[in-house]
Amino acid sequence: MYDVLVVGCGLCGMVAARELAEKGKKVHIVERRDHIGGNIYDYYDNNGILVQKYGPHVFFTDNEKIEKYITRFVPVHSFYPECRTFIDGKAIPMPFSFASIDIIYEDQTYAAKLKKSLVNEFGVNTIVSVVDVLNSDKCEIREYGAYMYEHEYRKYSAKQWGRPIETIDPSVFMRVPVYISNKKPYLRQKYQYMPEGGFTELSKQIIDHPNISVELETDALDSLQIDNKKNWVSFHEFNGPVVYTGPIDALFQYEYGQLPYRALEFVWKTISKNKAPSTALSAFPEGDKYIRITDYTQFPPQELLGKAVIAIEFPVEYKADELCGNEPYYPTLTSNSRAMYEKYAELAKEYHNLFPCGRLADFKYYNMDAVIERAFSVANIVMASGHC
């Protein structure tokens, strides 16, 4: 028998398991899928190229503690991915910067004036939001803001979320900043890495501990019992602490309704290198179909002579029982969904040995560094709970 059950072998579950194992607890992980790693899972395709099944992932952080945590398991390759967005047939560097202005405005005298005006307004080498640009008193700056908002932020968000931008939590589109400089890094964090051998290799190393056992292709919800008289959860004969990283609404049989998610579908192609996009990531805010193309042959350290392996990404509405879109990817944050989640979170608190965490149980978009921190804190809470 084990001391702690972890539901879900994604990053959150794996890191929580490792922390508990290192503190001397025997941990059993059950995973619904036939592989470890959750959404960071990658594998080698027929060309020998490492591809990421659930969409492009790069590890990035400013947090030294998390950086040390990752590099203790695997060597890493620095990787500073680039992205271009396609608007009116132009390939514009993303996030928006002076390099983007030079491409958007054919009249370079106007472009130079606009850049000067932006520096006067916000200062040189600053980072602002599109809303700051839209709210400027100067009409040329407001026009630039309107261009970015209309052509990129509004269209991309509407396509990604399948609903008007006004109904989406503003934090979602504020994630893409505007640079008042020539610099155009896609990611701003100090450490930007690909693990040597990929994220599945990293996952293997995290759970490689004598106190950790893993059971794949097992849906915990088939056997998890919720006793609402004793306020306790159990799994077969096991009555100890349960770290739950699956969907919170499914755990409680959708008692307050189904939480909304956006899903993704991918079309994979091996194409000639000269037909591939020039950057590892390309965004397509226009049109009504795909939203992004990832070229995995531009991820280090790989290369495929004369060819590119691309994943074309189509956002769709999440529907658990359909053939397409049946994996929940991004929590759709609206005032209604937040209120519904809060009810589930309150309900979960009633169960003394239940510890929900991770993107599905917290109904929250986490980057990998944030989900690792969340797992550290949950492992400490489990240890302090006195249940194991």
Ligand X SMILES: Cc1cc2nc3c(=O)[nH]c(=O)nc-3n(C[C@H](O)[C@H](O)[C@H](O)COP(=O)(O)OP(=O)(O)OC[C@H]3O[C@@H](n4cnc5c(N)ncnc54)[C@H](O)[C@@H]3O)c2cc1C
* Residues in 366-385 at the binding interface with ligand X, rule: CB under 6 A: 366-368, 371
Is 332 in contact with 167 (CB distance < 8 Å)? no
What kind and span of H or E run contains 127?
A: strand 126-128
Q: Which residues are CB-neighbours of 67 under 8 A, at least 6 positions away?
A: 61, 190, 191
Binding mask 299-338 for ligand X (x = CB under 6 A): ------------------------------xx--------
- Residue 271's beta-bridge partner residues? 308
Tokens of 178: 């505007």
Rounded to a whole number of angstroms, the minimum distance from the CB of residue 7 to ligand X is 5
Q: How many residues does the chain have?
A: 388
32 or 352: whose CB is closer to ligand X? 32
Backbone angles phi, psi at 109, to 5 degrees: -70, -45
Does 18 help bind ligand X (rule: CB under 6 A)? no
Segment interacting with ligand X (CB under 6 A) among 35-43, 116-124, 164-172, 278-286: 35-43
Residue with tokens 């088939």: 222
Does 51 help bind ligand X (rule: CB under 6 A)? no
Q: How far is 214 from 207, CA to CA, in rounded Å?
A: 8
Does 40 help bind ligand X (rule: CB under 6 A)? yes
114 or 382: whose CB is closer to ligand X? 382
Q: How far is 136 from 147, CA to CA, in rounded Å?
A: 14
9 or 50: whose CB is closer to ligand X? 9
3-state DSSP call for residue 221?
A: helix
Contact pick of 2, 55, 104, 239 for ligand X (by CB under 6 A): 55
Binding mask 242-271 for ligand X (x = CB under 6 A): ---xx-------------------------
Rounded to a whole number of angstroms, the minimum distance from the CB of residue 307 to ligand X is 24
Rounded to a whole number of angstroms, the minimum distance from the CB of residue 135 to ligand X is 30
7 or 128: whose CB is closer to ligand X? 7
Q: How far is 169 from 21, CA to CA, in rounded Å?
A: 38
118 or 263: whose CB is closer to ligand X? 263
Is 66 in contact with 372 (CB distance < 8 Å)? yes
Rounded to a whole number of angstroms, the minimum distance from the CB of residue 9 to ligand X is 5
Segment interacting with ligand X (CB under 6 A) among 123-131, 216-224, 227-235, 337-345: 216-224
* Residues in 59-78 at the binding interface with ligand X, rule: CB under 6 A: 59-60
11 or 259: whose CB is closer to ligand X? 11
Closest to 316 (Cα-Cα) out of 259, 388, 266, 354: 266
59 or 144: whose CB is closer to ligand X? 59
Q: How far is 282 from 90, CA to CA, in rounded Å?
A: 12
Site size with ligand X, rule: CB under 6 A: 34
Is 11 in contact with 38 (CB distance < 8 Å)? yes
What does the DSSP 8-state code read for residue 173? Answer: G
Helices H, strands E: what count in the chain?
Answer: 11, 21
Rounded to a whole number of angstroms, the minimum distance from the CB of residue 195 to ligand X is 12
- Residue 195's beta-bridge partner residues? 76
Segment interacting with ligand X (CB under 6 A) among 84-92, 134-142, 230-238, 354-362: 354-362
Rounded to a whole number of angstroms, the minimum distance from the CB of residue 303 to ligand X is 21
Residue nearest to ligand X (CB): 10
28 or 115: whose CB is closer to ligand X? 28
43 or 110: whose CB is closer to ligand X? 43
Q: How far is 84 from 103, CA to CA, in rounded Å?
A: 11
Segment interacting with ligand X (CB under 6 A) among 10-18, 43-51, 135-143, 144-152: 10-18
Contact pick of 4, 11, 194, 248 for ligand X (by CB under 6 A): 11
Is 283 in contact with 81 (CB distance < 8 Å)? no
Chain-centroid distance of CA 181 in Å reads 27
Q: How far is 175 from 203, CA to CA, in rounded Å?
A: 27
User: Interface with ligand X by CB under 6 A: which residues?
Assistant: 7-13, 30-33, 38-40, 55-60, 219-221, 245-246, 329-330, 358-360, 366-368, 371
